[in-house]
Structure 1
Amino acid sequence: MFSNLLINFVLALGAVRVASAALTRRVACPDGVHTATNAACCALFPLVDKLESDFFDGGECGEEVHESLRLTFHDAIGFSFTKGGGGADGSIMVFEDTEVAFHANREHIIQIISFDMGLISLTEGIDEIVDAQKTFMQENNVTISPGDFIQLAGAVGVSNCPGAPRLDFLMGRPLPRAPSPDLLVPEPFDTVPTILARFADAGFSPAEVVALLASHTIAAADHVDPTIPGTPFDSTPGIFDTQLFIEVQLRGTVFPGTSGNQGEVMSALHGEMRLQSDHLLARDSATNCEWQSFAGNQAKLQTAFKAAMHKLALVGQNVNDMIDCSEVIPVPRPLVGQPHLPAGQTKTDIEQACATAPFPVFAADPGPATSVAPVPPS
């Protein structure tokens, strides 16, 4: 009796192993170089190579990466449980004339305080990256849907930034049926309750909001002034690290707001810009401890950002109709450098906000305070 049970168990275990092997068996791609778990992913390898060489300037973590990552968000957040929208469906590209004219997407002037530039006018607009990606798709006869391409370009671009997680990519988004409703993209001068409510209406928790803001560690304001190629939001815009969560916690000057704005915020560092929304989320009781938890914790930042981006990329989509082609995304280089306070700053310059844990202790870079270098144009 026992021996029969044992034989049956061994046979069952063998069947499971065979089934598992069948599920993970790889197919050879037509290029003779790559293999894939699903043959449909094979066509993406040359597209990724072309993106890296032509669109991202040979694999740089530069302006096109910043803007492509921003586009993944502006497209995907166009979803509401109460107002509709297709989410990450490419509608911002297909219905460009409609969506680029939305308040958060069009070129308009907002006011931001910078340490060494005073009150400046920042021209924000999503049209340039939309047009650049559409042109790339047309010139290279890209056959995947616009929704897929936006998310693929974002994931490939992030892979060029040392320290970044390897983002997932699932393929199979259908063409959008209609443009997103207006006023679904949060803006830098929105209040914290407004920002969190907008994200909640798209299915995101406050912790996931903070995780998504890790995108600002490889971001810059690219159109502040014709003489300034790009003003970064932290001192290491070419590296995916935790410096944003350290430097935004440094004391900055808040100027009284007008016309309903909460007030402009001046960064503590020369050459660096601080978004008011980042400043307030780092200090609000709903999010300040989560913000602080990323300071110096690279592993948590990578894990949380990858999970939040995976969720963002699937907003409005049926995952059961999609193919996991994450294997086509290049593996990012490891982090360069250690978390630190900028030169000239000390622990006393940190504005403690979290009530349940002290801010981590970091050594400061040696030497006197220096300016943060601008991000060069591509």
Structure 2
Amino acid sequence: MVFSAALSALVLALPILSVNALRTRRALCPDGINTAVNQACCALFPVVKDLQENLFEGECGDAAHGALRLVFHDSIGISPTLGGGGADGSIATFNETELTFPANLGIDDVLDTLGPFLFKHSNVMTPGDFIQLAGAVSLVQCPGAPRIPFFMGRAHPIAASPPGLVPDPFDSVESIMTRFGEVGFLTAEEVVAVVGGSHSVAGADDIVPNQQGVPFDQTPSVFDTQIFVDVQLRGTLFTGEGGQQGEVETAVAGTVRLQSDHLLARDSATNCAWQSFVNNQPAMATAFGQGVLKLSLLGQNQNELTDCSEVIPAALPFTGGPATLPPGLTMNDIEQACATAAFPSLATQPGPPTTVPAIPQADDS
């Protein structure tokens, strides 16, 4: 992996940029272009510009998906009993340890892509701040995704996260809910919104052996509710016989379904929450945004951080249509699980069945 432990020696020696101020008026930044309520936030405008133009390149693509994934994998590394720093950047600084955790499969590629930008801007940001800023900026590359607040001033990480804190795609619903509950997620709606929303703009690497960027739903470049339909379509979950353990035979060619998503959509503890977001874009975006903000503050004291939300660009409006069934399928292909409400009626896409293309990788030419 290109992005290596060399980061540790650099970032642990850097000062923290954190200035809390009581200013309420916007003032011109030293660049003569941007304005900010808090002058400490001025240093972040060039970082945001660099991320948008040179990392994400204005696309809700592989780099944006990876930055969002990194937010979760770093933040969730905290436990009231086992310790960990939460949203502190330890997954970058102590990557040689945390990348050995099975649930962090593929994060090495994400760090290889984001690492040069972290190094470039390490004079003004700690690893924890950079990961959260990159995640917030990644979301506004995706139509329909919420604009989430960003707070700056996280200390440098002092140790790797304990193992076993990142939910695994093969975990049970009970295990997933317990893990989220330990860090303050109290309802099924919160958990489902974060998991489903993240997977709405994501793809899998190596879940299908030797295949990268396999989408989780038909619209991986749009933050929408299609994921909640595609996962509810009938599929066969293998448990070791007839297929690789955890593999789901899906009805949408070119996509892959995580075992954890399959179970969340069908378990009695979460299936109605999963179904509730189908074609309910505002509710899903709101719950997701609240959940990601909660993740970004794990292990942090918000009162000691500087609110630099003003540097996050405006969100892109949702321009997609309602979630639909793939060509050739009907409502009979939905595996109804929620016992208290009927699945929303969906139209079927016209034309013959198609294959969803893989997401181009960030280092592809």
Class of the TM-score when normalised by the shorter of the 2 chains: 0.7 to 0.9
CA distance in 2, matches of 1:276, 1:208: 19
Q: 1:264 to 1:303 in 2, by over 3 A?
A: same
TM-score norm. by structure 2 comes to: 0.88
CA distance in 2, matches of 1:203, 1:333: 29
Q: 1:225 to 1:189 in 2, by over 3 A?
A: closer
Q: 1:353 to 1:225 in 2, by over 3 A?
A: closer
CA offsets 1:104-126 (integer angstroms, 9 cap, x no match) = 22xxxxxxxxxxxxxxxxxx321
Q: Which residue of 2 aligns with 1:112?
A: none
- Of 353, 357, 361, which residue of structure 1 is paired with 2:337? 353
How far 1:142 sits from its partner (Å)? 4.1
Matched, 1:80 2:79: yes
Q: 1:130 to 1:229 in 2, by over 3 A?
A: closer
CA distance in 2, matches of 1:284, 1:228: 29
- Of 115, 127, 130, which residue of structure 2 is paired with 1:134? 115
CA offsets 1:214-262 (integer angstroms, 9 cap, x no match) = 100000024467985521000000000000011111111222446xx97
Query: Which runs of structure 2 are paired with 1:1-378 in the superposition (5 Å)?
Result: 24-56=24-56, 58-105=57-104, 124-205=105-186, 206-213=188-195, 214-223=197-206, 229-257=212-240, 263-339=246-322, 340-378=324-362
CA offsets 1:123-181 (integer angstroms, 9 cap, x no match) = x3211222332322223454211000001011111110111111211111111121111
Q: Which runs of 5+ in 1 are unaligned?
A: 1-21, 106-123
8 A Cα contact 1:224 1:230, kept in partner: no
CA distance in 2, matches of 1:225, 1:198: 26
8 A Cα contact 1:102 1:183, kept in partner: yes
The alignment yields a C-alpha RMSD, in angstroms, of 1.9
Name whichever structure is richer in strand by fraction: 1
8 A Cα contact 2:200 2:222, kept in partner: yes
Q: Which runs of 5+ in 2 are unaligned?
A: 1-21
How far 1:192 sits from its partner (Å)? 0.9
Q: Secondary structure at the match of 2:248?
A: strand
Q: 1:79 to 1:55 in 2, by over 3 A?
A: same
Q: Secondary structure at the match of 1:48?
A: helix
> Match of 1:295, as an amino acid?
V
How far 1:71 sits from its partner (Å)? 0.7
8 A Cα contact 1:163 1:334, kept in partner: yes
Q: Secondary structure at the match of 1:104?
A: helix
CA distance in 2, matches of 1:255, 1:137: 40
Q: Which residue of 2 aligns with 1:120?
A: none
8 A Cα contact 1:191 1:262, kept in partner: no
CA distance in 1, matches of 2:286, 2:205: 28
TM-score norm. by structure 1 comes to: 0.85
Q: Which residue of 1 aligns with 2:11?
A: none
Q: 1:277 to 1:158 in 2, by over 3 A?
A: same
CA distance in 2, matches of 1:144, 1:83: 27
8 A Cα contact 1:220 1:231, kept in partner: yes
> Match of 1:166, as an amino acid?
R
CA distance in 2, matches of 1:202, 1:195: 11
Q: Percent of aligned positions with the same letter in both sequences?
A: 57
8 A Cα contact 1:103 1:182, kept in partner: no
8 A Cα contact 2:63 2:113, kept in partner: no
